């Protein structure tokens, strides 16, 4: 007896990063930051719980106070802000709202693993457009992939898992080609880690461009999260910045009371210490660039990353005669967990000890092959 839609039979499940086997292992498989929430967040949560937190009551479904705080922080019309239970949940709702049965969703690939799952779950067909050899979006190919059956476009900048960003000029040119009827979602979960350390303020302006283009194009939504730089992955909180016209139907299909009360409290408190958050993100960006340079010295090259991770591509692994599984095993032997995605490997940047162990694993691979 078949109870479910037939296309779900072959739908892959989202696989989370592996957890450490022992207390000594360093987890670099889930792009989590190594910092705790900021002091303001810890104090706000402690106060809320100490006072009972009204946890016996449903939270404010409109997230009114958090939305107002985000409107100030992002300088955005609150009518165009949609708060959700993490940015992934908002991407799922976005696709449910815009994808018709059998409609195509055009996306770069490889990119965030949840995109094809969310697309198929929404009744659509995932059209993955291969990245360029350097791990960047091939926007010309994506534009060519748009057909009358296309219902939405997903972009990811910085891209997970390659860490690469879409230059402003390329993105602006691409959006100018997209039909006005076509909703576009730009996933900027890792934007706070851009640009690479040492890059100029001009480069920062080139990288952080999605929000301003969303002001220009009412069919564009920018997804951001509190899970990464804001260190609130365990509370699940994200938001979209878009036009009121696109935001309204997304609110209409929102999960009732989907954002819990403590997440709303934490989000408001986190925004009051945004400078601390950005300082921490810059610290991780520095560690990322240092690890990339050390890997390069060891003969391993990774795409220029603007996220809190590095990507070892299948081509790079092939150049060294090493499979992704073997690379992962070497890292596990060194006491560090990384993430195999397809034929490549993503390495999160967190504690300094993690980077030290990754370099030890690379050296061990070199010794075995010599």
Give the span between the Cα atoms of 128 and 291, in whole angstroms.
Answer: 30
Tell me the pLDDT of the chain averaged across its residues: 93
Q: Residue 305 in contact with residue 312, Cβ under 8 Å?
A: no
pLDDT for residue 197: 46
Q: Is residue 240's pLDDT more than 70? A: yes
Give the span between the Cα atoms of 250 and 241, in whole angstroms.
Answer: 12
pLDDT tens digits along 295-306? 999 999 999 999
Query: What phi-psi label fits residue 137: left (phi over 0), alpha (psi between -120 and 50 degrees) or beta?
Result: beta
Contacts of 292 (CB under 8 A, 6+ apart): 302, 304, 305, 310
- Stretch 120-132: mean pLDDT: 97
- Stretch 354-367: mean pLDDT: 94
Q: Residue 310 in contact with residue 347, Cβ under 8 Å?
A: yes
Query: Between 10 and 151, where is the model more confident?
Result: 151
Give the span between the Cα atoms of 198 and 192, in whole angstroms.
Answer: 15
pLDDT for residue 206: 45
Reduced to 3 states, what is the DSSP secondary structure of residue 370?
coil
Give the span between the Cα atoms of 365 and 160, in whole angstroms.
Answer: 25
pLDDT for residue 259: 98
pLDDT tens digits along 175-220? 999 999 999 999 999 999 986 544 545 444 445 569 999 999 999 9
pLDDT for residue 17: 65
Q: Is residue 159's pLDDT more than 60? A: yes
- Stretch 285-294: mean pLDDT: 97
Give the span between the Cα atoms of 153 and 45, in whole angstroms.
Answer: 37
pLDDT for residue 337: 96
pLDDT for residue 66: 99
Give the span between the Cα atoms of 14 and 155, in whole angstroms.
Answer: 19
Least confident of 138-152, 165-179, 203-217: 203-217
At 2, the pLDDT band (50, 70, 90 cuts) reads confident
Q: Is residue 279's pLDDT more than 50? A: yes
pLDDT for residue 202: 47
At 8, the pLDDT band (50, 70, 90 cuts) reads confident
Contacts of 105 (CB under 8 A, 6+ apart): 95, 99, 115, 119, 122, 124, 125, 126, 127, 150, 151, 152, 153, 154
Report the percent of the chain where pLDDT is more than 70: 93
Global pTM reads: 0.94
């Amino acid at each position: 007896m078949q109870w479910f839609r037939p296309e779900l039979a072959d739908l892959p499940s989202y696989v989370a990063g592996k957890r450490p086997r022992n207390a000594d292992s360093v987890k670099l498989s889930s792009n989590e930051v190594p910092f705790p929430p900021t002091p303001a967040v810890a104090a706000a949560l402690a106060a809320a719980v100490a006072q009972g937190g009204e946890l016996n009551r449903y939270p404010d479904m409109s997230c009114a106070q958090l939305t107002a705080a985000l409107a100030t922080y992002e300088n955005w019309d609150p009518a165009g802000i949609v708060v959700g239970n993490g940015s992934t949940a908002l991407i799922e709702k976005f696709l449910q709202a815009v994808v018709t049965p059998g409609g195509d969703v055009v996306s770069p690939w490889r990119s965030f693993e949840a995109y094809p799952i969310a697309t198929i779950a929404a009744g659509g067909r995932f059209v993955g457009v291969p990245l360029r050899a350097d791990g960047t979006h091939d926007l010309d190919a994506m534009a060519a992939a748009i057909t009358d059956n296309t219902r939405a476009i997903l972009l990811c900048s910085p891209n997970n898992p390659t860490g690469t960003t879409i230059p402003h000029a390329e993105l602006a040119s691409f959006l100018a080609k997209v039909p006005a009827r076509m909703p576009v979602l730009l996933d900027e979960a890792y934007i706070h880690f851009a640009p690479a350390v040492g890059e100029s303020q001009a480069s920062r302006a080139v990288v952080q461009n999605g929000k301003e283009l969303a002001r220009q194009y009412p069919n564009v939504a920018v997804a951001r999260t509190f899970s990464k730089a804001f260190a609130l992955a365990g509370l699940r909180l994200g938001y979209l910045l878009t036009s009121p016209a696109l935001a309204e139907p997304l609110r209409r299909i929102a999960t009732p009371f989907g954002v819990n009360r403590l997440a709303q409290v934490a989000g408001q408190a986190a925004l009051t210490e945004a400078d601390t958050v950005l300082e921490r993100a810059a610290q991780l960006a520095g560690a990322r660039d240092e690890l990339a340079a050390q890997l390069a010295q060891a003969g391993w090259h990774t795409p220029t990353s603007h996220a809190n991770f590095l990507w070892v591509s299948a081509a790079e692994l092939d150049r060294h005669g090493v499979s992704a599984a073997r690379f992962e095993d070497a890292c596990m032997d060194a006491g560090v967990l990384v993430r195999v995605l397809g034929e490549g490997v993503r390495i999160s940047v967190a504690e300094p000890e993690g980077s030290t162990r990754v370099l030890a694993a690379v050296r061990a691979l070199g010794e075995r092959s010599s």
